[in-house]
């Protein structure tokens, strides 16, 4: 039976979910949630929720009173108070913060953006064996003794051997009666995914653009982690040269070199070939740049994508983040080179407001 407090807590959770879903675009755009993640939980400020509560009236300060009076005497009104004296110096009212698990957040994201669940591709399952206590044995440690079955067997034996007395229902199991729980190995399909984040950190990429990438990567990561048992994330930065880095370096590096996108695609391809065979892994390659690629490099990028990366990936996403100088030509080059390729998603992100639609573009394919 569900207790009232549980029912109320569930109702509260529903209200919170609804509120977050309604304001999802704001939460995604502001990126304030990223700084509030702590392990498996994320705390979200919800200033709008008014929790119903009883309030006492102000005692002896106006309103209807009782006391001696003459018939017809008007009830007095309290005098108008003096206006307040500017801003106070006491702390303000805090925002209500609620904690959600990353899975709950992913579910809200999925509902909010109407994202289809991802179908892990073909043989992209690693079989993992887990032990489950489903069997019974006649030997085993006492800690695994199956009491009910042991009792039943002893009872049956005593009835059969006519040693059971209903008036004195004493059942004493002997060694042969004892049954123990045993385990059977169960094969569990275990879907794994690797996400390779590629970012242009050349001189033309500003901090604002990197912030957009950071926010978008957070939400994509949240969704993919909810879809797979194990998600490995790898980070590549590039200007004219690409290198693999950790997450902190990924978001905080600025180089002054030129832009050669093919360097990043080459490195991504090498990493996939070396560590993540496409037969065993669901591969996601997500690249962010301002699209100002140098020289004849576009042609090489297209050939690398067509021959190497796209055939190996569940999804290749390219997000072109607009710089103060507008949007580079790389987006158009890809658009012209790849028409209706199901595992290629292109998105132009003009500003933070564009993150919401960009995430939908990347993840809306259910791949």
Partner 1 sequence: MNPLTQKIAAAIDAHTDTSACVISADFENRHLTLHVATGGAVGLALDSLEYRLLDHPPLTKAELKGWADRLVAKLTYLMEPLVVLELDAEVGQAQLRSQSPSERQSMRTYYEIQVDRNASLRLARVTFDEATRKRSAATCQFTREAIERLANDLATSLD
| Interface ranges with partner 1 (CB under 8 A) | 202-204, 239-241, 256-260, 294-295, 324-329, 332, 348
The whole-angstrom separation of Cα 191 and Cα 341 is 24
Q: Which is nearer to partner 1, 43 or 327 (by Cβ)?
A: 327
Helix crossing, 330-337 with 297-304: angle to 10°?
Answer: 40
179 neighbors 138 (Cβ within 8 angstroms): yes
238 neighbors 115 (Cβ within 8 angstroms): no
Q: Which is nearer to partner 1, 240 or 310 (by Cβ)?
A: 240
Q: Which is nearer to partner 1, 132 or 299 (by Cβ)?
A: 299
Number of H helices, E strands in the chain: 11, 10
The whole-angstrom separation of Cα 213 and Cα 209 is 6
Closest separation in Å from C-beta 329 to partner 1: 7
Residue with tokens 């690398």: 304
Helix crossing, 102-112 with 4-22: angle to 10°?
Answer: 50
The whole-angstrom separation of Cα 279 and Cα 259 is 32
289 neighbors 257 (Cβ within 8 angstroms): no
The whole-angstrom separation of Cα 220 and Cα 143 is 46
Closest separation in Å from C-beta 346 to partner 1: 13
Token pair in block for residue 297: 């490099």
DSSP 306: I
The whole-angstrom separation of Cα 224 and Cα 216 is 12
Closest separation in Å from C-beta 331 to partner 1: 8
Query: How many residues belong to the chain?
Result: 367
Q: Is 38 helix (H, G, I), strand (E, B) or coil?
A: strand
Closest separation in Å from C-beta 242 to partner 1: 13
Token pair in block for residue 248: 């902190």
Q: Which residues pair with 144 in a beta bridge?
A: none
Q: Which is nearer to partner 1, 31 or 257 (by Cβ)?
A: 257
Closest separation in Å from C-beta 112 to partner 1: 27
The whole-angstrom separation of Cα 288 and Cα 216 is 10
Residue with tokens 């969704």: 223
**Which parts of 211-343 are beta strand (E)?**
230-238, 242-245, 282-289, 315-321
Closest separation in Å from C-beta 298 to partner 1: 14
Distances (CA, A) of 296 to 52, 299, 300, 329, 333: 64, 6, 7, 12, 12
Closest separation in Å from C-beta 227 to partner 1: 32
Q: Which is nearer to partner 1, 17 or 260 (by Cβ)?
A: 260
Closest separation in Å from C-beta 342 to partner 1: 24
């Amino acid at each position: 039976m569900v207790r009232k407090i549980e029912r109320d807590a569930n109702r509260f959770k529903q209200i919170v979910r609804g509120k977050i879903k309604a304001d999802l675009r704001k939460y995604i755009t502001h990126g304030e949630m990223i700084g509030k993640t702590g392990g498996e939980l994320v705390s979200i400020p919800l200033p709008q929720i008014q929790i119903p509560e009883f309030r006492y009236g102000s005692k002896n300060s106006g309103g209807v009173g009782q006391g001696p009076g003459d018939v017809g005497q008007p009830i007095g009104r309290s005098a108008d108070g003096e206006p307040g004296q500017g801003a106070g110096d006491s702390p303000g009212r805090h925002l209500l913060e609620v904690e959600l698990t990353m899975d709950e957040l992913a579910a809200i994201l999925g509902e909010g953006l109407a994202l289809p669940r991802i179908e892990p591709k073909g043989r992209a399952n690693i079989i993992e064996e887990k032990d489950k206590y489903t069997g019974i044995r006649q030997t085993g440690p006492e800690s695994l003794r199956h009491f009910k079955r042991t009792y039943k067997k002893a009872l049956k034996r005593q009835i059969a051997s006519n040693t059971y007395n209903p008036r004195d229902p004493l059942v004493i199991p002997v060694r042969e009666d004892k049954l123990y729980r045993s385990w059977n190995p169960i094969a569990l399909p275990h879907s794994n995914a690797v996400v390779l984040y590629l970012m242009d950190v050349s001189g033309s990429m500003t901090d604002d653009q990197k912030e957009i990438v950071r926010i978008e990567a957070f939400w994509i990561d949240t969704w993919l982690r909810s879809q797979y048992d194990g998600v490995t994330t790898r980070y590549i930065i590039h200007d004219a040269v690409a290198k693999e880095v950790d997450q902190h370096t990924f978001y905080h590096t600025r180089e002054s070199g030129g832009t050669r996108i093919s360097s990043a695609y080459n490195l991504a391809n090498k990493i996939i070939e070396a560590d993540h065979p496409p037969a065993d892994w669901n591969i996601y390659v997500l690249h962010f740049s301002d699209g100002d690629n140098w020289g004849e490099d576009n042609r090489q990028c297209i050939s690398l994508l067509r021959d190497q990366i796209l055939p190996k990936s569940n999804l290749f996403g390219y997000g072109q983040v607009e710089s103060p100088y507008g949007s580079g030509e790389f987006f158009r080059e890809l658009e012209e080179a790849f028409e209706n390729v199901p595992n290629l998603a292109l998105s132009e992100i003009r500003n933070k407001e564009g993150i919401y639609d960009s995430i939908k573009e990347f993840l809306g394919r259910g791949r």
